[in-house]
């Protein structure tokens, strides 16, 4: 069962500012990009991203690894934004599919298959991961990333907009779930860890000002965003306050 619908993503991508690529001044994107470069020093071939809009991570792989990029996007508006973004970033020969990931059969397999913030939107994430693997060559690399709405983020998000939590599968936001995938799918684990340190941009607010408590939380998060510009905090990670889980596997 999907926890989000196409309208949610159409609304999300409508009016998205372009061009859009990895911003190293943004603490979360800096942490994820640096970890990917560290854990994947050499890759080649073709990369496929599931839920790829607006294409910033495909652009990251294109520019850092000279690898051909492809992806699938559920939302027509998201696909259009991605293709426009690639044009602005001078990315050549992208292949972006629009459609329901659950209904499409892969016509080709890829050297790298990845998703960042996709599998947590489903009640049965292992079914979704199994579909990821159908697009991946044997010996290829599977990259999975999910936000961590547990720990300190859960009470913060409840204050700002509890509906956001309903759109995420909180049960998979722990390292035990990702460690178990090695046996479930006969994978070789390359890396599993919390990353991102505390990320004040993760909680999503429904109202610009809201009630006094919501306003106070927003002000505190704004102050913390200024502090998180310092790279010193990037390596401080714990399940209570780290904003993201990154897992990298090799398909046997």
Domain assignment of residue 95, yes or no: yes
pLDDT digits (tens, 9 = 90+) for 151-209: 999 999 999 999 999 999 999 999 999 999 999 999 999 999 999 999 999 999 999 89
Domain assignment of residue 157, yes or no: no
Domain assignment of residue 206, yes or no: no
Residue 24 has a CB neighbour count (10 Å cut-off) of 12
What percentage of the chain reaches a pLDDT higher than 70? 94
Domain assignment of residue 119, yes or no: yes
Domain residue limits at 19? 6-150+168-199+237-251
Confidence of residue 3 (pLDDT cuts 50, 70, 90): very low
pLDDT digits (tens, 9 = 90+) for 76-99: 888 888 999 999 999 999 999 988
Confidence of residue 10 (pLDDT cuts 50, 70, 90): low
Domain assignment of residue 163, yes or no: no
Domain assignment of residue 124, yes or no: yes
Please give the tally of structural domains in the chain.
Answer: 1
Domain assignment of residue 192, yes or no: yes
Domain assignment of residue 216, yes or no: no
CATH of the domain at 124: 3.40.50.150
């Amino acid at each position: 069962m999907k926890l989000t619908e196409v309208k949610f993503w159409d609304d999300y991508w409508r009016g998205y500012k372009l061009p859009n690529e990895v911003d190293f001044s943004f603490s979360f994107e800096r942490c994820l990009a640096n970890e990917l470069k560290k854990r994947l020093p050499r890759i080649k071939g073709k990369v496929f991203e599931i839920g790829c809009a607006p294409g910033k991570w495909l652009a990251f792989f294109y520019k850092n690894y000279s690898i051909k990029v492809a992806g699938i996007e559920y939302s027509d508006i998201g696909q259009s934004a991605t293709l426009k973004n690639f044009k602005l970033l001078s990315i050549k020969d992208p292949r972006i599919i629009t459609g329901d990931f659950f209904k499409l059969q892969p016509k080709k397999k890829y050297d790298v298959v990845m998703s960042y913030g996709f599998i947590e939107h489903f009640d049965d994430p292992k079914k979704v991961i199994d579909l990821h693997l159908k697009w991946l060559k044997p010996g290829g690399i599977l990259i999975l990333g999910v936000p961590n709405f547990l720990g300190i983020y859960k009470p913060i998000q409840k204050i700002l907009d509890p509906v956001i939590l309903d759109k995420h599968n909180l049960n998979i936001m722990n390292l035990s779930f990702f460690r178990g995938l090695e046996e479930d799918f006969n994978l070789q684990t390359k890396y599993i860890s919390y990353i991102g340190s505390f990320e004040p941009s993760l909680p999503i607010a429904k109202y610009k000002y809201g009630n006094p408590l919501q306003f106070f939380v927003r002000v505190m998060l704004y102050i913390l965003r200024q502090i998180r510009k310092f790279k010193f905090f990037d390596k401080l990670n714990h399940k209570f306050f780290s904003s993201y889980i990154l897992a990298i596997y090799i398909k046997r």
